[in-house]
Amino acid sequence: MVDKLDQEVDCPISVYTEAIQVNPNDLAGYLARGTAHLEANAFDSAIKDFTKAIELKPTNDSAYTSRGLAHYEKAEFDQAIADFTKAIEMNPSSAAAHCNLGWTYEAIGDERQAIAHYRKALELDASLEAARDNLKLLGAMLKQPPRGR
């Protein structure tokens, strides 16, 4: 998956929690703590933090992309699709959101949509290796003859 947030997450979660306690409207604190939770595989906590970030700034496409990642990791694919789609509505040039949406469509077996979003991600950012690799693998899988015949 491609993480939209470009933040360093070297600080322990408790540091972000303290910052949020000092300023309960600290958007950056919720985004950073959510990312730390995501990296720690604490997906429910990540979803809560990204949801709070969205409440604080509903136009933050990065929060939708990141929350979509947490939903994806929980295999909540409908919610992931909704979040990645919302991020794209707000920022159509988000290669990360397109790539992650492709990954999610691939996970539910919608190869056509997956390919379309991988291609769009590469159109927006030709250096995005995840999209290129996933598109290549998906193309190779689709060319293989069915097994068991």
Where do the domains of the chain lie? 9-76, 92-142
Mean pLDDT of the chain: 90
pLDDT band at 140 (very low <50, low <70, confident <90, very high): confident
Report the predicted TM-score, pTM, of the whole model to 2 decimal places: 0.85
Q: What is the pLDDT of residue 4?
A: 44
Q: Is 3 or 121 the better-scoring residue by pLDDT?
A: 121
Q: What fold does the segment set 9-76 form as a domain?
A: 1.25.40
How distant is the alpha carbon of residue 77 from its chain centre?
11
Maximum Cα interatomic distance, the chain, rounded to a whole number of Å: 65
Secondary structure string (H, E, C) spanning 68-117: HHHHHHCCCHHHHHHHHHHHHHHCCCCHHHHHHHHHHHHHCCCHHHHHHH
Please say if the pLDDT value at position 102 is more than 80: yes
Span 45-51, average pLDDT: 98
